[in-house]
Amino acid sequence: MDVLKFSPLFLLIFLSFCIPMPMADAENLTQTFEGGMDLQITYPESVMIGRTFSISIHLENNGWENKQDISFAITNPDFAFKTLGDETITIEELTTTSSFGTTLDYEVSKNTNEGKHFLNVSYSQVLVSNNVDPMPATKTTIALPIMVLKEPVVTIQTTTPESIFSNTEFPFEVSVISHDIDLNDLTVQIIVPQDIEFRGDTSYKISLLEKGTPFNIKAEMITPINVSTEHTVPVKVVVSYTDDLGDEKSDSSSVPLLLRPKTFLEITNDGGIWVGDFFIAPYVSIGTIVGIPAGTIFSLLLRRAVEKRKKKKKA
């Protein structure tokens, strides 16, 4: 009857297959003013300290009356952003169906605090009634919220089994993603204790990792043959690179793995089965899995049961 408890193991082989994300770059603000004047401002949702960014302004007169004495004045209340040009724009006239566009460049001050900062846009225009009589100027103030981040975000993701046991190969996967900038001269090192071996390299290099593109590494680690007690194995992933400012940066992620002695019956991540010291590899053919290994399993279980009875009789 004890043997029947292992019959669901074959089903688990077929049910245990696992089927193995960027920040918005810009915000668009649109507003319509008196007389069908349409304004669109494109600005970054977030910027990083020490970097430059741009604001694009597009103004289009979609009304049937002309506009004149148009002006933009952009101010920065807390001086978080340093202008790289003129912050005041003046347009003498925009006739019907005509448009105007420009780009303003800024640099994030190095002593700026992280968090939300604002650029204030003061807009003014004069509508020419019936294209003859200028009307009083209309004025509007628009606030552009921009989040300031200290450093570019680089994510190190590791995929490993929850626990590992002796004398077996286990997958170890690493994914490095840069969410904000391109990385140059990227190096990924996997550092493990001496008793853990890796099939393949433990150091990987790539000259350029583009923003938002993952760099994926798949390796196999081999556990030692003899493991007497359960303990934690420290595995460290070290990532070094050159950022967009030419500065060398590094980051790391530690992965504690639980290494334990192998029990009589184990199922590996790829569907293989350990029965004592006998390993049944995962086969593609159902008949092969069910037919050949099954007899071996019964024999091993029967032999173990007989050995236990002999020990009890001797005792």
Q: For residue range 250-268, what is the model confidence (pLDDT) as tens digits? A: 999 988 887 777 654 455 5
Write out the CATH class of domain 27-149.
mainly beta
Mean of per-residue pLDDT scores for the chain: 79
Question: pLDDT at position 194, please?
Answer: 80
Tell me the H-state helices in 3-82. 8-15
Helix (H) or strand (E) holding 198: strand 197-199
Question: 39-53 burial, b for 16+ CB within 10 Å, e for fewer?
Answer: bebbbbebbbbbbeb
For residue 161, pLDDT beyond 80: no
Helix, strand or coil, per DSSP, at residue 300: helix
Question: pLDDT at position 15, please?
Answer: 35
Q: For the structural domain made of 153-264, what CATH number should be given?
A: 2.60.40.10
Q: From CA 102, how far away is CA 82, in angstroms rounded?
A: 18
Domain boundaries, the chain: 1-16+271-315, 27-149, 153-264
DSSP string, 118-133: EEEEEEEEEEEETTTE
Q: From CA 166, how far away is CA 237, in angstroms rounded?
A: 22
Residues β-bridged to residue 123: 72, 140
Domains 27-149 and 153-264 in one fold: yes
Tens of pLDDT, residue by residue over 189-220, are 998 888 788 877 889 999 999 999 999 999 88
Contacts of 195 (CB under 8 A, 6+ apart): 224
Q: How far out from the chain centre does Cα 205 lie?
A: 19
Phi, psi of 34 (to 5 degrees): -55, 135
> What is the reported pTM?
0.56
